């Protein structure tokens, strides 16, 4: 008797294996925005500039980070001013062994843009931005797990900063303008030692040896 009806009932083995592998890969791939982190740059905290940032993992080893800082300290009778506010947005590409094991962990390269304004004066000559100052550049960093929910992120950025600022001297409760200058700077424009808090129940670091 002919054997074609019998063989036609059996699916080709290659198709079965291919389908099974595809399902396994998709189930192991993290979904976008399931991984999120809130962070603060401890370098800014150390110089009394409160700041806060959020970072979203958008899939395929890419993430978007947004940071903002704000400080408005003053002491008029001493002519002390410590004011600044601004922020940055950064697109990051994660790579390396740690990044494959867990999103928002390991090495990363980034492209960022910044904007800020400031007024600094400590009992002497003061420096105040005329308007917004802008910067852009590239960054490299590494995010290292320190506990189940916390990472430390070390980042350095090099780029170009441009903006105008004024120099002044406080005299008899007045602020006497001295000169205006144009700032053009190429070099380090970004530095982070950030404490990172991982958000969501399934977004945590695994212990050595894997989950049991």
Q: Return d(Cα 34, Cα 5) in angstroms, integer.
A: 48
Among 125, 195, 189, 138, which residue's Cα sits nearest to residue 163? 189
Q: Return d(Cα 33, Cα 55) in angstroms, integer.
A: 9
pLDDT digits over 18-55, tens only? 444 433 333 344 444 578 999 999 999 999 999 999 99
pLDDT digits over 51-102, tens only? 999 999 998 999 999 999 999 988 766 778 889 999 999 999 999 999 888 8
pLDDT more than 70, % of the chain: 80
User: pLDDT at residue 6 above 70?
Assistant: no
C-alpha 188 chain-centroid distance: 16
SS3 11: coil
The residue count of the chain comes to 212
Give the pLDDT of residue 35: 85
pLDDT band at 208 (very low <50, low <70, confident <90, very high): low
Q: Which residues contact 157 (CB under 8 A, 6 or more apart)?
A: 110, 112, 137, 138, 139, 140, 188, 189, 190, 191
pLDDT band at 187 (very low <50, low <70, confident <90, very high): very high
Question: In sequence order, which ranges of the chain are alpha helices (DSSP H)?
Answer: 4-8, 13-28, 42-46, 97-101
Among 37, 45, 1, which residue's Cα sits nearest to residue 193? 45
pLDDT band at 204 (very low <50, low <70, confident <90, very high): confident
pLDDT band at 176 (very low <50, low <70, confident <90, very high): confident
Give the pLDDT of residue 104: 92
User: pLDDT at residue 117 above 80?
Assistant: yes
**Both tokens of residue 135?**
């910067």
């Amino acid at each position: 008797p002919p054997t074609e009806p019998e063989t036609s009932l059996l699916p080709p083995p290659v198709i079965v294996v291919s389908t099974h592998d595809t399902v396994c890969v998709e189930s192991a791939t993290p979904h976008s925005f399931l991984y999120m982190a809130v962070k603060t740059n401890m370098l800014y905290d150390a110089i009394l500039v409160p700041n806060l940032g959020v970072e979203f993992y958008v899939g395929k080893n890419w993430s978007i980070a947004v940071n903002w800082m704000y400080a408005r300290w003053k002491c008029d009778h001493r002519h002390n001013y410590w004011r600044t506010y601004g922020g940055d947005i950064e697109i990051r590409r994660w790579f390396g062994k740690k990044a494959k094991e867990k999103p928002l962990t390991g090495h990363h390269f980034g492209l960022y843009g910044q904007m800020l304004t400031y007024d600094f004066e400590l009992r002497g000559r003061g420096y105040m931005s005329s308007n917004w100052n802008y910067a852009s550049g590239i960054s490299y960093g590494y995010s290292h797990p320190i506990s189940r929910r916390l990472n430390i992120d070390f980042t350095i950025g090099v780029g170009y900063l441009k903006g105008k600022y004024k120099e002044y001297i406080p005299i008899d409760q007045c602020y006497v303008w001295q000169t205006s200058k144009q700032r053009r700077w190429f070099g380090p424009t970004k530095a982070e030692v950030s404490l990172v808090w991982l958000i969501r129940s399934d977004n945590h670091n695994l212990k050595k040896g894997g989950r049991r």
